[in-house]
Structure 1
């Protein structure tokens, strides 16, 4: 018996909230990666790690906020806590591998394609591991053609995100890239959900003594959401992350131009200084001495 799936049981609330979290994680991650690549004095491992965790948490929270609206009318749902946490760990780990590959191996097309493909597969793995955490009175089945399409979208989104972190500098441009990235990630999620069908068991209305889906998901979502807010505070208090390295460089140049210029004292005998021409006073003294010598 086929179950009746409703992926939007709360209307547009869950898709919009999921999209916002995907955009927030992408925006923070892109700015952190850009910060590590554009400023040689920054602590690269720290910024890359912050960017990877931000993107991973954004994707994971997007997935499970959207899953709050997922219901099967004939049976109740719950989630395995261990598998749900595993999906978060996979998201952060695999995104981190792609981010660090780009951060340390450069921006060649080969690196981008390999890192993007690996990261996209990791995002897809996070999605389907998260789906494997669902417990219900039946079995989840997938249309493999749509699953393949969702994986392709995930790889494209991951590659575009890594390219944006390298190529985009300005704050507004980076914000636009994160909005597009949010669309791609959300599109991957709902494409994957379109592949799902539920085959119910003979007995309907499965019962259990554990917690409901909402009572499990909502507390688990609290931690990644708090992390993203704290990461946002870090970004807000770092001028280079907010303005972008180009804008920050221009402001620094304007401050240097406005500051008074103090000439350093001359160092006689330096090999890197051209000999200065004699002053007019010295020239007049020398002329006077020569005239006096001629008179004598």
Structure 2
């Protein structure tokens, strides 16, 4: 059994991973709130942005945290197609949950289904990311801890969606994003606690890329996308602000009309 290191990079990787999960959650949840105030194509576009944001945040969090993962006695490589598939699956499954919230007729039921879909998206991304591991040995899992990690993801994702849609104002958005970040991080490290490695020593080269060769550059790209999109969402007017602006400009336009 190989000795597993989860924090070989110190506390930098878990703290940065939590920050990225929180940013992705904040952006996704705010986009979901914007979507519920919109209609037609605008609602769909906000929900798509929310799905991409949360999926990207989950993926980036996972692989930043994995920078601190190591196993004594073997090198670690990541299968690139599986790694990219994990990102796409995270966006797709999370998107199913987000769209359920966006188009659900009964708020309580859509919130529960949305939390279930979003939480399963978090879990699916994590375990697909683990399936991308190439090392000299076999990865095993403690089934009870795997089940607990999925339950944590679903429960916390549901709580985050509830907070985003119920608690108004900046404080509500901040609490919801921190809860979402906690959902992803708690699920990740619970899932990692379930991992065991049975080594099979070998000198054969491993296929795939190291974390720094492939994952870190892509994480930087996705992280930049999340921060830039967050700034755009923060600066763009809400539906209420647009309505207020149009109402304020109406008397001016009427005053400019010729009389008689």
Do the aligned partners of 1:36 and 1:42 also contact (CA within 8 Å) in 2? no
Kept in 1, the 8 Å contact 2:94–2:120? The answer is no
Normalised by the size of structure 1, how large is the TM-score?
0.78
**Matched residue, 1:80:** 79
Say which SS state the counterpart of residue 238 (structure 2) adopts.
helix
**Distance (Å, rounded) in 2 between the aligned partners of 1:30 and 1:103:** 11
Displacement after TM superposition at 1:215 (Å): 1.0
Q: Which moves more between the two structures, 126-135 or 38-47? A: 38-47
CA distance in 1 between partners of 2:47 and 2:29 (Å)? 10
RMSD of aligned alpha carbons: 2.7
Secondary structure in structure 2 of the residue aligned to 1:215: helix
1:193 matched to 2:192? The reply is yes
Give the superposition deviation at 1:226. Answer: 2.6
**What is the Cα deviation at residue 101 of structure 1?**
1.0
How far the C-alpha of 1:109 sits from its partner, in A, is: 1.9
Q: SS of the residue aligned with 1:67?
A: helix
Kindly report which structure 2 residues correspond to 1:71-220, keeping only aligned pairs within 5 A, or say none.
71-201=70-200, 203-204=201-202, 206-208=204-206, 211-220=209-218
Aligned to 1:68: 67
Counterpart contact for 1:76–1:207, Cα < 8 Å: no
Aligned to 1:233: 231
Unpaired runs of 5+ in structure 2?
Answer: 256-260
Greater Cα shift, 167-176 or 5-14: 167-176
Change beyond 3 A, Cα 1:111–1:209: closer
Q: Which runs of 5+ in 1 are unaligned?
A: 264-296
Contact map agreement 2:79 2:207 (CA 8 A) in 1: no
Displacement after TM superposition at 1:216 (Å): 2.0
CA distance in 1, matches of 2:157, 2:106: 14
Going from structure 1 to structure 2, the CA distance change for 1:211 and 1:50 (only over 3 Å counts) comes to closer
**Contact 2:135 2:206 (8 Å CA) reproduced:** no
TM-score, length-normalised on structure 2?
A: 0.88
Supply the distance in 1 between the matched residues of 2:222 and 2:135 (Cα, whole angstroms): 26
**CA separation of 1:167 and 1:107: change in aligned 2, threshold 3 A:** farther
Pairwise CA distance, 1:49? 0.6
Q: Tell me, in whole angstroms, the C-alpha distance in 2 between the residues paired with 1:180 and 1:27.
A: 10
In structure 2, the residue corresponding to 1:141 is in which secondary structure?
strand
Deviation at 1:122, TM superposition (A): 2.3
Give 3-state SS (helix, strand or coil) of 2:205's partner: coil
Q: Which residue of 2 aligns with 1:294?
A: none
Tell me by how many angstroms 1:206 deviates: 5.0
Offset at residue 210 of structure 1 (A): 5.4
Distance 1:206 1:6, change over 3 A: farther
State how far apart, in whole Å, the 1-side matches of 2:97 and 2:208 are: 37
Q: Matched residue pairs, number? A: 255
Q: Distance in 2 between matches of 1:186 and 1:149?
A: 13
1:223 alignment counterpart: 221
Give the drift of 1:18: 0.2
Please say which structure displays the higher CA radius of gyration.
1
Task: Assess if the C-alpha contact under 8 Å between 2:80 and 2:208 holds in 1.
Answer: no
Partners of 1:65 and 1:146 in 2: how far apart? 22
Specify whether residues 86 and 41 from structure 1 end up closer, same or farther in structure 2 by C-alpha distance, changes over 3 A only. closer
- Deviation of 1:40 after TM superposition, in Å, equals 4.7
- Higher percent of residues as helix: 2
